Structures are given as structure tokens and as C-alpha cells.
């Protein structure tokens, strides 16, 4: 009986010791668990990012253009006109639109689908509407095709 009790106590103490060592790390007393490598890696020095050469007007116009494109479809010329309406200079608006990442064909498709959700259009009528908004004829046809007309 004493031997069983002693074995249980020693075993319990061992389990407590092991589980106590498995607890979470607190505060800044932790040491890294990865051993340092034998030789430092010879990675090439990181290249510096090019300096931002945008003017404040260009930077703000680009941010505005990206914001507009995130909320509604625009043609290239329609987006420039919108930025000019917001009092950006023609130069800053044009620069911004040339520097946003956008697929104008997909913008035409989104615009065409949006029109068809609320109005009835013939194929030619929708192409005409999209070109009126500033999409090129090719972009308008692409958009109408993607919209299913």
C-alpha cells in the first residue's frame, strides 16, 4: 500500500512538473525556440522602395479615383470628368486615372449589368448608353456581351 501511494505521489508530482512547464509564455521572459543557424544567411540587401514622386494633388486624386471605382463602375473619361467635378485639375485627374489599376472592359460590364437591373435596353441602346458615358465602342460591346445581351 505504501509503495502504491508513493508511486502515485511521485507520478503525480512528475505530471504536475511536466504540465507546469507546458504553460503559456508570459511577458518578455521568453527565449526564442529556434536555435540560431551556424552561419548567417547571405541574403542580398533589401532594395529601397522608390521615393514617392507624386504631388499632393496627384496622390489625392488617385485615392479619390480608387474610392470611386470601389463603389461604382466608371469609364476612363467618366472618371476623369468626375474628378474634375470634384475640383481636381485636369492634369491631376488624368494622371490619377492613368495610374489606377483598373480593367475598363470589366467596368463596362459592371455598368451594363447595373443598367439592366433597373431598366430595359436593346443591345444597341445599351451600347449607345455606355459610349455616351465615355466607354469606347469596344469596351461598350464587351460590357453588353458580358451582361448577356
Residue pLDDT, tens place only, 117-131: 999 999 999 999 999
pLDDT of residue 63: 98
Tell me which of 23-37, 58-72, 132-146 is least confident. Answer: 23-37
Residue 92 CB partners (closer than 8 Å, separation 6+): 55, 57, 58, 60, 61, 83
Alpha carbons 114 and 102: distance in angstroms, whole number: 18
**Are residues 83 and 121 both part of a single domain?**
no
Residue 61 belongs to what domain range? Answer: 54-102
Mean pLDDT of 54-69: 96
Q: Is residue 41 classed exposed, middle or buried when 0-12, 13-18 and 19+ CB atoms within 10 A define those classes?
A: exposed
Alpha carbons 130 and 127: distance in angstroms, whole number: 5
Q: How confident is the model at residue 145 (pLDDT cuts 50, 70, 90)?
A: very high
Q: How confident is the model at residue 50 (pLDDT cuts 50, 70, 90)?
A: confident
**Are residues 92 and 130 both part of a single domain?**
no
The DSSP code for 33 is S
Domain assignment present for residue 19? The answer is no
**Are residues 108 and 142 both part of a single domain?**
yes
Domain assignment present for residue 11? The answer is no
Nearest to 108 by CA among 83, 84, 134: 134
- The number of folded domains in the chain is 2
Please state, for a pLDDT cut of 90, what percent of the chain lies above it. 64
Does the pLDDT at position 92 exceed 70? yes
Does the pLDDT at position 87 exceed 60? yes
CATH number, domain containing residue 134: 1.10.10
Mean pLDDT of 25-31: 49
Please report where in the chains the cell 463596362 appears, as a residue.
108
Does the pLDDT at position 116 exceed 50? yes
Domain assignment present for residue 83? The answer is yes
Nearest to 143 by CA among 89, 102, 99, 106: 106
Residue 94 CB partners (closer than 8 Å, separation 6+): 80
Q: Report the mean per-residue pLDDT for the chain.
A: 81
Instruction: Single out the residue in 83, 102, 121 at which a domain terminates.
Output: 102
Amino acid at each position: 500500500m505504501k509503495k502504491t501511494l508513493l508511486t502515485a505521489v511521485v507520478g503525480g508530482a512528475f505530471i504536475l512538473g511536466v504540465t507546469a512547464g507546458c504553460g503559456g509564455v508570459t511577458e518578455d521572459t521568453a527565449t526564442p525556440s529556434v536555435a540560431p543557424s551556424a552561419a548567417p544567411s547571405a541574403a542580398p540587401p533589401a532594395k529601397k522602395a522608390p521615393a514617392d514622386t507624386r504631388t499632393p494633388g496627384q496622390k489625392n486624386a488617385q485615392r479619390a479615383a480608387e474610392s470611386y471605382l470601389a463603389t461604382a463602375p466608371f469609364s476612363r473619361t467618366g472618371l476623369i470628368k468626375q474628378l474634375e467635378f470634384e475640383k481636381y485639375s485636369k492634369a491631376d485627374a488624368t494622371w490619377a486615372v492613368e495610374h489606377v489599376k483598373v480593367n475598363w472592359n470589366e467596368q463596362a460590364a459592371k455598368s451594363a449589368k447595373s443598367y439592366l437591373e433597373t431598366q430595359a435596353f436593346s443591345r444597341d441602346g445599351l451600347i449607345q448608353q455606355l459610349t455616351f458615358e465615355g466607354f469606347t465602342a469596344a469596351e461598350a460591346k464587351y460590357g453588353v456581351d458580358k451582361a448577356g445581351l
